Structure 1
């Protein structure tokens, strides 16, 4: 019984760590664009929205793929 609880806690911790890592990737992309470098995207009025939306979708896609892999791995372990 104690092993089951420990394994569930470890799986939860892995999920939290993966989500944290994914948001750090998004923060890294944000930091790159927040630097005071001239990348000529300042001229376009929708550049901020495009970069923000692309980063959000990229992070969500990574989170979904990791959750699917974790569920597939847990299904293999349970049978």
Structure 2
């Protein structure tokens, strides 16, 4: 099982040199198989989901996957 954090910040994303090491995207966590194939469980859809989407687009064309999204709470940066 692979758990990847695409964003862990609070309500407001940040873009500054001091955040490059740890990132500035708001909450988005993906859980998938180690081989990165098959179903993907996504927790929250903060600004980190953009990078997750780009990675999913790199999968082979025509590969069918199931995306399941769960939200820990609802406010503007998670929807």
TM-score range, shorter chain: under 0.3
Bigger share in strand: 2
Structure with larger RCO (C-alpha < 8 A, sep 6+): 1
**Higher percent of residues as helix:** 1
